[in-house]
Chains A and B, each alone.
Chain A
Amino acid sequence: MRTTLQATLARTIFAAAATLFAVEAVTAQAASDRAMKETMSIGDEPGRISTEEVVITDGPFARQVVFFRSNEEPGTVVIHTSERFLHVVMPGNRALRYGIGVGREGFQWSGLVKITRKAEWPDWTPPPEMIVRQPYLPRFMAGGPGNPMGARALYLGSTVYRIHGTNQPETIGQSISSGCFRLANGDVIDLYERVPMGAKVVIRHGATI
């Protein structure tokens, strides 16, 4: 399974230059090889409870409508990893903006993908690489309030990455995941309702010197 994913990723790296045309092209701009091998590599407090009511209510990472000039169609999801924001493009130079947690350095990436699957209260199966790094993690965890995957997951193309909830809402705005994008549970539920299967997701990362 993972080998297939790796091969897909490798194939699609070169298509990245033509991201506008390649539906599931993923550039691994800053992602290390290790990051690519991961699935759902996220924080590590299984059992911590965060209910679906949790939303970010104040400050920059609160869900809010902002000015956002874009050539993307309304409904497109635009993620700015450097700024820790996820935007859902709206008509009239606006976007609904959510605060997110992103991959730590070396686990940040950019590209164009589509939503290929949606799941409520997803299960969590930490990959072997993650078990090696964090041996205390469970081998499998059924979906639910204590699951680090949180209340909802949106699967990104054929990549190993997801937009998902979290049982650690205080990590929104930080860069600690392994390439996934996490929202507070209440916010990911709100997003889940707005983003249909097949929606376009543009992931952008700031320039590096």
Chain B
Amino acid sequence: MALSLKMIRQALLGGGLACLALLPQAANAGTLDDVRQRGTLNCGVSQGLFGFSERNSNGQWSGFDVDFCRAVAGAIFGDGTKVTFVPLSASERFDALREKKIDVLSRNSTWTLDREAGLGLLFAGINFHDGQGFLVRRDKKAVSALELDKSRVCVQQGTTAVAGAEDFFRTNSMTAEIKTFPDSARTLAAFEAKECDVMTTDSSGLHAERLKLAKPGDAVVLPDIISKEPLAPAVRADDIAWYTIVRWVNFALINAEELGVTAANADEAARSTKPDVKRFAGTEGEFGRKLGLSPAWALQAVKASGNYGEIFERNVGVNSRLGIPRGLNQLWLNGGILYAPPVR
């Protein structure tokens, strides 16, 4: 019995190794070469989502998802402007990636098993932890979602937030009157008309909806997040080298914030004597070469967009119009869960 188990394990292990060994050949390698040859990164973004990807009247793109692609372009070209943005609807985004219309999808997409295992793509690391939250009127003085017993809850029909809210109230021995509405506008209108005490959807969405109230200051988004909506950039699964680059640009932006490297002091960082900053800046080690990039790849990414904190604050943070607190998206050192492996 033990023997047969061992044999099975060996067989599996052998098979696994064979698969790994096959990958480089099977891989449709060369996204990096294609991008270099083309001279521009093709980046799939949403068709317009406040704070995440927006195009102004001059055709200039800005936003959290946009800045991520600029950072990737910075790492590759040393020039964050070498990006062609491809606006995509929710239904066409993964096809566009598979059909090579884009090199990277940076479009507030939730990382799920179904998508990763079913669609032939890989998510390159969470860059925004979103999740279902609650909007309440400030005068309720609630500081926790656990204080919402016997509330009337407005939620948009057909979204996962309906079941999410029902489950949350049941699990925490609370009752709620769930009221559903056909679209987000009518859900918000009902909240504003005090037909309900609470409105619920993903937290980033609540912050955006809150701005549409006549008096945004009268409503607050509670700090509770009751579901997991990890937003992540995605690439095709057939080019591991490219996947590694995109993955490590994300890590680099987070590490930059932790190290104190900003868009403004990136040049200064190249002269730092601190070992971890030297490795980041490429003045020590050969990390850029291993990615197929120049030694200063990480600094170039930060110069293009700023570090993670700068990108967050500029586009969606408390000093932007959206005003989303860092919350989960704060560094692990500062009370959040952002944690990137080291450049080492």
Seen from chain A, the residues whose Cβ lies within 8 Å of a Cβ on chain B are 57-60, 64-70, 78, 80, 83, 87, 90, 92, 94-95, 204, 206-209
Contact = CB atoms under 8 A, between A and B. Distances in A.
A207 B260 CA distance: 5
Given A60-B318, A67-B335, A209 B269 contact: yes
Contacts of B330: 67
B225 interface: yes
A65 to B, nearest CB: 4
Interface of B: 143-144, 217, 220, 222-225, 258-261, 265, 268-269, 272, 274, 277, 318-319, 323, 325, 327-328, 330, 333-337
Contact of B335 (A65, A87, A92): A87
A209 to B, nearest CB: 5
B310 to A, nearest CB: 12
Nearest to B224: A67
A204 B334 CA distance: 9
A68 B274 CA distance: 29
Tell me the interface secondary structure of chain A in the complex: loop
B325 A66 contact: yes
19 contacts: A58-B217, A59-B323, A60-B318, A60-B323, A65-B143, A65-B222, A66-B325, A67-B327, A67-B328, A68-B223, A68-B335, A69-B335, A70-B335, A90-B143, A92-B144, A94-B143, A207-B260, A209-B268, A209-B274
A209 B217 contact: no
A80 B269 contact: no
Nearest to A57: B217
Nearest to A95: B335
A70 B268 CA distance: 32
Nearest to A89: B335
A208 B258 CA distance: 9
A207 B225 CA distance: 28
Q: Which 3 A-B pairs have the closest CB atoms?
A: A60-B318, A207-B260, A67-B327
Nearest to A72: B335
B311 to A, nearest CB: 16
B221 to A, nearest CB: 10
A57 B215 CA distance: 14
A209 B261 contact: yes
B259 A207 contact: yes
Contact of A69 (B143, B323, B337): B337
Contact of A94 (B223, B265, B269, B333): B223
Given A60-B319, A67-B225, A94-B223, A209 B335 contact: no
B272 A209 contact: yes
A67 B269 CA distance: 31
Given A65-B143, A66-B223, A69-B336, A207 B258 contact: yes
A206 B217 contact: no
Contacts of A64: 220, 325
Contacts of B333: 204
Nearest to B272: A209
A162 B29 CA distance: 59
A98 B33 CA distance: 49
Contact of B223 (A57, A67, A78, A83): A67
Contacts of A95: 335
Given A207-B260, A208-B260, 16 more contacts: A64-B220, A64-B325, A65-B143, A66-B325, A66-B327, A67-B225, A67-B330, A70-B335, A83-B334, A94-B143, A207-B259, A209-B260, A209-B261, A209-B265, A209-B269, A209-B274
Contacts of B277: 209
Contacts of A204: 333-334
B301 to A, nearest CB: 16
A70 B258 CA distance: 17
Contacts of A208: 260
A208 B257 CA distance: 10
A80 B334 contact: yes
A71 to B, nearest CB: 10
Nearest to A59: B318
A72 to B, nearest CB: 10
Nearest to A65: B143
A207 B255 CA distance: 11
A87 B327 CA distance: 13
A206 B325 contact: no
A178 B47 CA distance: 48
Contacts of A92: 144
Contacts of B222: 65
A94 B223 CA distance: 8
A204 B260 CA distance: 13
Contacts of B335: 67-70, 78, 87, 95
A66 B323 CA distance: 13
Nearest to A94: B223
